[in-house]
Amino acid sequence: MPGTYKLFDHPDAYFYETYGSNYPYGLRMDSLDGGYDKKSTFSVEQTPADIMLMWDGGSTATLAGKVRRNNYSNDVWDVSYTLTGVTSFADPNDGWYATGGAGTLSMGSTVVTLTGKQDMTTGYAFVFANDGHRCNNEPFPCASNAIVGRGWMEGSGANDWIFIAEKKPGDGGGGDGEIPEPGTLALFGLGLVGLRQLRRRRDGTV
C-alpha cells in the first residue's frame, strides 16, 4: 500500500456538545488543553485543513500538513509526524504498523512535541490497515474495507490519531484500488490494436 494518501475525519470520532453540535476529528490531544472537550480535537479535513500520509514502502512514513482545531476561532496548526519501525502485515495488501513516532504540532510560537506510544498488547504505536476499523453502521467514506489510520501518543488523557485515508488519484505508489484514467485505457486499447496488426502482417493475414 505505498503511496500518498489524503486524510479525512473518521465518522465515529467526534466531540458531542449537549446542545447538539458534533465536532468531527482525526486527531485528539487531551494533553494540550488539560482534558477532553472540543478544543482538544482537530479536524484533518475541514477547510483549510489539509494533511497527507506518505509511505514509499520503507521503514518510515510521514504525516504532514495542516489541521484545524475545533475551538471558537478554528485555529490552524501545522503538523509533522514521522512514523518509525514501519512493517507490513503478513499480507502487504492488508496494511502496515509502526512501532514509534515523533514530531510536532505547532501554531506560531506554540510547539507541542508528539511522541509515539506503543500499545501494551501489540507493541504498535500506529496502524494503517484496510480493515474498516470502527466503521460499523457509519456513513461514507466508512466501509468494511476502508483504510483507517490510528495511533497513540504520550501525554495525559487520550492523545491519538483516528482517520480515514484515501489514496490520491494518479499516485504512482501502486494499484490499491485505483481506477485507470480514460486516456490511459484508450492508449492501452490502441496499443493492443497495433500489436494485432503487426502480428497479422507477420502471419501474412489482414
- Do 129 and 93 fall within a single domain? yes
Please say whether the beta carbons of 125 and 98 come within 8 A.
yes
The number of distinct structural domains making up the chain is 2
- Do 133 and 194 fall within a single domain? no
Instruction: Of 130, 167, 162, 138, give the one whose Cα is nearest residue 149.
Output: 162
- Do 96 and 137 fall within a single domain? yes
- Do 120 and 34 fall within a single domain? yes
- Do 97 and 193 fall within a single domain? no
**Which amino acid is residue 167, in one-letter code?**
K
- Do 143 and 199 fall within a single domain? no
- Do 155 and 134 fall within a single domain? yes
pLDDT of residue 185: 38
Global pTM value: 0.79
- Do 126 and 48 fall within a single domain? yes
Three-class secondary structure of residue 175 per DSSP: coil
pLDDT of residue 176: 44
Span 50-61, pLDDT tens digits: 999 999 999 999
Task: Return the C-alpha cell found at 29.
Answer: 490531544
Please say whether the beta carbons of 10 and 26 come within 8 A.
yes
Q: Which domain holds residue 112?
A: 3-175
- Do 11 and 86 fall within a single domain? yes
What count of Cα atoms within 13 Å lies in the side-chain half-sphere of residue 90? 0
- Do 192 and 99 fall within a single domain? no
Q: How far apart are CA 18 and CA 200, in angstroms?
A: 74
Please say whether the beta carbons of 26 and 46 come within 8 A.
no
Q: What is the share, in percent, of the chain residues with pLDDT greater than 70?
A: 79
User: For residue 20, what pLDDT band results from cuts at 50, 70 and 90?
Assistant: low
Instruction: Of 55, 54, 52, 62, give the one whose Cα is nearest residue 26.
Output: 52
Q: How far apart are CA 206 and CA 198, in angstroms?
A: 10
- Do 135 and 205 fall within a single domain? no
pLDDT of residue 18: 55
- Do 142 and 63 fall within a single domain? yes
CA quadruple 110, 159, 31, 121: dihedral positive or negative?
A: negative
Backbone phi and psi for residue 7, each to the nearest 5 degrees, phi listed first: -105, 145
User: For residue 172, what pLDDT band results from cuts at 50, 70 and 90?
Assistant: low
Three-class secondary structure of residue 195 per DSSP: helix
Could you tell me the end-to-end alpha-carbon distance of the chain, in angstroms, rounded to an integer? Answer: 44
